[in-house]
């Protein structure tokens, strides 16, 4: 893989737009000999980050674009996601426990895992509000799977 | 949203004929499972053998499907690919569902 190669494109901030963008990115990463575990981690982290933008940032049918830029480095991949939806509340960015599965069945969570999965699979995470837009920077080191003792587990 | 259903005695096997259960499909998934399992057998086995990717919306839809069945029925899983299994593990939902190695193992466990 050539160092510091960049893959960048824009897409619709919709559930279908996210699905198509992930499919395209996975194809591009596979063509660059990314291994399966690393591709899977990038796909999962990005799916959660992008779904958050669609569901919260662009909530209420507000149409918007999402810009994605992935820089492939020897030690991992740097991802920048930009959108011009609502700001991300600071509280959700803090590392936190996943919802508790040890509860009665009808109280089981049906969501709320997104940020905890992002934190578990991401090395570095930085969020900033730039004017009316959001910038999320993620660094995923190669071949980290679940790190024992990280997060709440 | 494609899924198919077969009945084996007291057990229903629902096979997901999609390679992703993601945010784009989660609501359709929940609705279709409800239609397929309404008034069905006590035990439902969800065969995820063709599913290559699941996100937290898809996971939420599977949890919702289990809750729809109520206290007296079960939703069990089989055919989890490594990437799908990882999502269950990261969210600790692998402790909530009964997960089988194969459809045969799931059917055997439910007829024993």
Helix axes A36-52 and A114-121, enclosed angle (nearest 10): 140
Query: How many angstroms away from the CA of B47 is the closest CA of chain A?
Result: 20
Chain B residues in contact with A54 by the CB 8 A cut-off are 23
pLDDT in tens, A15-66: 999 999 999 999 999 999 889 999 999 999 999 999 999 999 998 767 799 9
Is A47 in the B-facing interface, judged by CB distances under 8 Å? yes
**Phi and psi angles of residue A95, each rounded to the nearest 5 degrees, phi first:** -55, 135
Is A21 in the B-facing interface, judged by CB distances under 8 Å? no
Among B26, B57, B75, the residue to mutate for chain A (most A Cβ within 10 A): B57
Contact residues for A96 (Cβ-Cβ < 8 A; gap 6+): A115, A116, A119, A152
C-alpha to C-alpha distance for A56 and B23, rounded to whole angstroms: 13
pLDDT of residue A122: 94
Which residue of chain B comes nearest to A100, CA vs CA? B92
Is A51 in the B-facing interface, judged by CB distances under 8 Å? yes
Is A95 in the B-facing interface, judged by CB distances under 8 Å? no
Which residue of chain A comes nearest to B94, CA vs CA? A101
CATH number, position B56: 3.30.750.24
If one counts every other C-beta atom within 10 angstroms of the C-beta of residue B3, the result is: 18
Cβ of B86 within 8 Å of Cβ of A145? The answer is yes
pLDDT in tens, B36-95: 999 999 999 999 999 999 999 999 999 999 999 999 999 999 999 999 999 999 999 999
Range(s) of the domain holding residue B73: 3-111
Please give the DSSP secondary-structure letter assigned to residue B41: -
> If you count residue pairs, one on A and one on B, with CB atoms under 8 Å apart, how many are there?
85
Cβ of A54 within 8 Å of Cβ of B63? The answer is no
pLDDT of residue A3: 56
Instruction: Give the helix ranges, DSSP H, for B1-112.
Output: 26-37, 56-69, 82-90, 103-111
Contact residues for A13 (Cβ-Cβ < 8 A; gap 6+): A53, A54, A57, A58, A63, A64, A65, A66, A83, A85
Of B23, B53, B95, the CB nearest to A101: B95
How many structural domains does chain B have? Answer: 1
ipTM of the complex: 0.92
Is B59 in the A-facing interface, judged by CB distances under 8 Å? yes
What pTM did the predictor assign?
0.91
**Phi and psi angles of residue A110, each rounded to the nearest 5 degrees, phi first:** -115, 15
Please write down the long-range contacts of A93-99, taking CB distance under 8 Å and 24 or more positions apart: A93/A125, A93/A127, A95/A119, A95/A151, A96/A152, A97/A151, A97/A152, A98/A151, A98/A152, A98/B90, A98/B91, A98/B92, A99/B91
pLDDT of residue A145: 46
Tokens coding A119: 């934190």
The strand pair at B99-100 and A65-73 is best described as unpaired
């Amino acid at each position: 893989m050539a160092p510091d190669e960049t893959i960048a494109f824009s897409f619709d901030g919709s559930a279908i737009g996210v699905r198509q963008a992930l499919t395209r990115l996975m194809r591009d990463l596979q063509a660059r000999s990314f291994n399966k575990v690393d591709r899977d981690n990038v796909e999962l982290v990005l799916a959660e980050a992008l779904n958050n933008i669609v569901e919260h940032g662009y909530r209420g049918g507000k149409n918007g674009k999402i810009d994605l830029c992935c820089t492939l480095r020897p030690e991992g991949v740097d991802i920048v996601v930009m959108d011009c939806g609502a700001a991300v509340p600071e509280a959700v960015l803090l590392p936190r426990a996943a919802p508790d599965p040890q509860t009665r069945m009808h109280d089981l969570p049906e969501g709320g895992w997104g940020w905890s999965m992002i934190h578990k699979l991401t090395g570095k995470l930085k969020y900033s509000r730039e004017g009316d837009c959001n910038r999320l920077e993620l660094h995923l080191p190669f071949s980290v799977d679940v790190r024992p003792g990280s997060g709440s587990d | 949203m494609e899924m198919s259903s077969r009945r084996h005695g007291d057990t229903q096997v629902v096979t997901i004929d999609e390679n992703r259960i993601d945010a784009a499909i989660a609501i359709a998934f929940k609705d279709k499972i409800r239609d397929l399992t309404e008034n069905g057998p006590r035990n439902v086995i969800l065969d995820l053998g063709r599913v290559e990717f699941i996100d937290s919306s898809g996971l939420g839809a599977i949890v919702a499907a289990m809750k729809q069945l109520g206290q007296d029925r079960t939703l069990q899983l089989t055919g989890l690919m490594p990437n799908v299994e990882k999502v269950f593990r990261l969210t600790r939902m692998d402790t909530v569902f009964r997960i089988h190695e194969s459809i045969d193992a799931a059917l055997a466990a439910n007829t024993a």
